[in-house]
Copies of this chain bind each other. A is one copy, B any other.
Amino acid sequence: MDKMIEHGLLYDFYGELLTDHQKELYEKAVFEDLSLGEIASDEGISRQGVHDLLKRCNKALEDYEEKLGLVKRFYKIKEKVGKIHKLADEGSPSDDTLNMIRKLADEIVEEL
């Protein structure tokens, strides 16, 4: 996956675990797409300082994913929800179809 999107997703799930300062810099870099130089001059720190801080943020976010796996879980549940949709789209679903819907719903809880 594109590194930028991947980190954006990690931030969506774990951003609250970063410090306010980390969040501020991270949002400038990833969401406002400012350059290291621009952030450095905004924050009154060196380009290298910004670079190191962002690298530490990415590492922290990746570590959280390694431990909690919320992004991975998100994709798995999204897939199951997609399947429920598809089954519910069958005009008059058979008992088998309804059973599959129930099973998928249970699997969602098991993922949590």
Contact = CB atoms under 8 A, between A and B. Distances in A.
Interface of A: 13-14, 16-17, 64, 67-68, 70, 73-74, 77-78, 81, 84-85, 88-89, 92-93, 98-99, 101-102, 105-106, 108-109, 112
Given A16-B68, A67-B17, A112-B74, A93 B98 contact: yes
A108 to B, nearest CB: 6
A49 to B, nearest CB: 26
29 contacts: A14-B68, A16-B67, A16-B68, A17-B64, A17-B67, A17-B68, A70-B70, A70-B112, A73-B112, A74-B112, A77-B108, A77-B112, A78-B109, A78-B112, A81-B108, A84-B84, A84-B101, A84-B102, A84-B105, A85-B105, A85-B106, A88-B101, A89-B98, A89-B102, A92-B92, A93-B93, A93-B98, A101-B101, A108-B108
